[in-house]
Amino acid sequence: MNALDIRSLKKTYTNVTKALKGVNLQVAQGDFFGLLGPNGAGKSTIIGIISSLIRKTSGSVKIFNTDIDKNFALAKSFIGITPQELNFNQFETVEDIVLNQAGFYGMRKKLARERLDELLEKLRLEDRRKEVSRNLSGGMKRRLMIARALVHKPKLLLLDEPTAGVDIEIRHSIWSFLKELNSLGTTIILTTHNLEEVEILCRNIGIINSGHLIEDTSLRTLLSQLDSESYILDLEDEVTDAQIADFPELKAIDKHQIEININKKEKSLNSLFVKLSDKGIGIRSMRNKNNRLEKLFLDLISTS
Ligand code: ADP
């Protein structure tokens, strides 16, 4: 079954800006789907229409086979959402924000409290439950948004830039929480500018540009289109120009670091490393120069 089925979706704002120009998109139940695109592409408009914060101009949207025009309440009950902007009452406490949301979905008090405890523990907010939300750090506010979105156990979670402005440690803890949630069956749709986040989390990807879906594929297929990759090698000893003169794919950054650009179809990293070793060049560590998706993403946008 599809968690989301969008057909011919159009949105024109105030009869001028055509934000969506006929988008078709299906996301299977259980998927972790990344919706990508440059600023102004239409991502938030799609998320807004699915969650009924924005009215579509035409087209259809079904959530788990329920058309939002036919049974709005049921369709909405399947969804949890964290919008891009923090939109809770700054003067309410953490627990009230989550409990009020539970009340909004008609959950019984006892069940809501159990769910609150579980979510605050998982999202590492339990010691802040009595705090008014404006006193929380940026990372805590993001986690509170996720707790609030999940209180009624939605089958589909929509995350609009969930880790924007969050430091590295918290970002990693949010990622592992989301991975676990997805592995337990929740379908997740994510919009993000962070391509590392996409590579770590998403199984399938849609790329939207100027109101059109220009790519709808798996992460694996997308990455397989990458023929060449750049790495930075940290060396054990100082390297001389003479030592690397025979390697056109190498460029010295300084005496202890070299950059390699390798075409994976033509050469293996392994054979290159053997040759380097023959020249007496030892490698201490290695990392990707950029996020692998970055170049691919920019190429797709520029040719669409
Ligand atoms: P994204 O989330 O990909 O950055 P949006 O969905 O926010 O893109 O915006 C898509 C287009 O719709 C942009 O051109 C944006 O300026 C326009 N837009 C978004 N919201 C409104 C609005 N409330 N009124 C008028 N135009 C809007």
Q: What is the pLDDT of residues 134-148, one digit of tens each?
A: 999 989 999 999 999
Question: Which amino acid type is present at position 11?
Answer: K
Higher pLDDT, 250 or 110: 110
pLDDT of residue 69: 95
Pairwise CA distance, residues 152 & 216, whole Å = 30
Question: Which amino acid type is present at position 165?
Answer: G
Going by CA atoms, what residue is nearest to atom 21 of ligand 1?
13
In angstroms, how far is CA 3 from the centroid of its own chain?
17
Q: Which two tokens stand for residue 215?
A: 């790519």
Going by CA atoms, what residue is nearest to atom 24 of ligand 1?
13
Spell out which residues line ligand 1, taking CB within 6 angstroms: 13-14, 17, 19, 37, 39-45
Pairwise CA distance, residues 38 & 218, whole Å = 19
Pairwise CA distance, residues 149 & 146, whole Å = 5
Nearest Cα to Cα of residue 121 among 101, 102, 155, 98: 98
Q: Could you tell which of 45, 84, 191, 212 is best to mutate to test the pocket of ligand 1, judged by most ligand atoms within 8 Å of the CB?
A: 45
Q: Does position 293 have pLDDT exceeding 90, yes or no? A: no
Ligand 1 atom at minimum distance from 45 CA:
6
**What is this structure's pTM?**
0.85
pLDDT by residue (tens digit) across 17-32? 899 999 999 999 999 9
CA of 76 to the centre of ligand 1 (A): 22
pLDDT by residue (tens digit) across 239-271? 888 888 888 888 889 999 999 988 877 778 888
- Quick one: what percent of the chain has pLDDT higher than 70? 100
Segment (H or E) for 32: strand 32-36
Ligand 1 atom at minimum distance from 191 CA:
2
Segment (H or E) for 168: helix 168-183
Pairwise CA distance, residues 269 & 247, whole Å = 13
Q: What confidence tier does 129 reach under pLDDT thresholds 50, 70, 90?
A: very high
CA of 42 to the centre of ligand 1 (A): 6
CA of 19 to the centre of ligand 1 (A): 6
pLDDT by residue (tens digit) across 208-227? 999 999 999 999 998 887 77
Going by CA atoms, what residue is nearest to atom 15 of ligand 1?
40
